[in-house]
């Protein structure tokens, strides 16, 4: 049989570039907030940091919801996204987001205002469980959404959902630490968040590098995607932004902070800088992964 080879081309639909200007770009912040909102909620659940719940819900509404709506070609039809839960990961994500918004709001209400209906310990536990489960699913769904795209081999990996979830939690922890500088939590020290972040940072870096090496070892489109990320102009975004700024530099700071050890209160600004770098790195990482979607050739 003859083989029809074709030069690799990169996906153009979800690159943040398009004829509609800013509206096409809004998918990138939507995916970014779609990761860190549930991440912030989960990290706040662990420490019962009430301002974190509300911040997660507010960012979910504005940063994820509104931006996603504006990205759609026909935003007034957004509700139709629920109609194909059986096979579509976008539909499932829509449901996970709705569940997260509902249960998250109810749990935040239960923790903030002692309403009679929500103050029952059994109801509260149920709400906590449901909001946690929906937050985990919501954080991981974009990874599943990308990993099932047969046409783009670079995305086809079981690591995608795991990385999306862990990066979400990592960003959530970073955001929680930044929030705690404005709204401190009595009896809860920032160094606990730092230590949790330190562990997840290492796991993410390990998975990140493993995924890249595995993809680079494959031929064809996957190798092309890795080359796009690591050589040429775009490597500044990926290597400089996602890898060095977002993972290596914060890990270096946190390692120094833990090993030396640096007093959290005295060096808090260095930690805050590391957290901002982490968030910027997550943003660059999401953008890079989307941009690197190379199609395998027709054959």
Smaller CB distance to other proteins: residue 124 or 223? 223
Residue 84: other Cβ atoms inside 10 A: 13
Whole-number minimum distance, CB 73 to other proteins, in Å?
2
| 149 versus 244: smaller Cβ distance to other proteins | 149
CA-CA distance, 159 to 146, in Å (whole number)? Answer: 11
| CB of 14 or CB of 188, closer to other proteins | 14
- Looking at beta carbons only, is 5 or 265 nearer to other proteins? 5
Nearer Cβ to other proteins, position 132 or 152? 152
Among residues 77 and 265, whose Cβ is nearest to other proteins?
Answer: 77
User: Contact residues for other proteins (CB under 8 A)?
Assistant: 1-6, 9, 11, 13-14, 18-20, 24, 71-75, 77-78, 80-84, 87-91, 94, 145, 148-152, 293, 295-296, 298-299
Give the residue with the Cβ less far from other proteins, 194 or 292. Answer: 292
Q: How far is the CB of 210 from other proteins (least distance, A)?
A: 25
Closest CB 299 distance from other proteins, rounded Å: 7
CB 36 within 8 A of CB 175: yes
Nearest distance from C-beta of residue 6 to other proteins, angstroms = 6
- Angstrom CA distances, 137 to 145, 150, 289, stand at 12, 22, 20
- What phi and psi, each to the nearest 5 degrees, are found at residue 158? -70, -15
Cα–Cα distance between 174 and 135 in angstroms, integer?
A: 17
CB of 67 to other proteins, least distance (A): 13
Q: How far is the CB of 33 from other proteins (least distance, A)?
A: 17
Q: Considering the complex, what minimum distance in angstroms separates the CB of residue 149 from other proteins?
A: 5
CB of residue 181 to other proteins, shortest distance in Å = 37
Closer residue to other proteins in complex, CB, 95/123: 95
Residue 294 contacts residue 10 (beta carbons within 8 Å): yes
d(CA 160, CA 208): 10
């Amino acid at each position: 049989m003859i083989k029809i080879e074709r030069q690799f081309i990169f996906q153009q639909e979800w690159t943040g570039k398009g004829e509609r200007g800013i509206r096409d770009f809004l998918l990138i912040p939507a995916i970014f907030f779609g990761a860190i909102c549930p991440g912030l909620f989960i990290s706040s659940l662990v420490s019962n940091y009430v301002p974190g719940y509300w911040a997660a819900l507010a960012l979910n509404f504005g940063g994820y919801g509104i931006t996603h709506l504006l990205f759609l070609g026909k935003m007034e039809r957004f509700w139709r996204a629920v109609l194909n839960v059986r096979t579509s990961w976008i539909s499932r994500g829509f449901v996970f987001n709705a569940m997260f918004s509902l249960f998250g709001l109810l749990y935040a209400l239960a923790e903030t205002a002692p309403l009679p209906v929500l103050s029952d310990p059994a109801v509260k536990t149920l709400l906590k469980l449901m909001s946690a489960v929906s937050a985990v699913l919501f954080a991981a769904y974009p990874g599943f959404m990308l990993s099932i795209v047969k046409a783009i081999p670079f995305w086809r990996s079981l690591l995608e959902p795991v990385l999306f979830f862990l990066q979400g939690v990592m960003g959530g922890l970073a955001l929680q630490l930044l929030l705690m500088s404005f709204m401190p939590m009595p009896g809860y020290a920032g160094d606990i968040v730092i230590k949790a972040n330190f562990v997840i940072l290492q796991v993410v870096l390990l998975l990140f590098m493993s995924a890249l090496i595995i993809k680079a070892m494959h031929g064809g489109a996957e190798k092309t995607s890795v080359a796009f990320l690591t050589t040429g102009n775009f490597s500044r975004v990926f290597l400089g932004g996602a890898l060095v700024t977002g993972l290596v530099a914060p890990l270096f700071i946190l390692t120094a902070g833990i090993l030396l050890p640096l007093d959290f209160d005295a060096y808090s600004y260095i930690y805050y800088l590391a957290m901002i770098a982490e968030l910027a790195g997550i943003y660059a990482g999401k953008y890079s992964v989307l941009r690197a979607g190379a199609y395998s050739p027709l054959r």
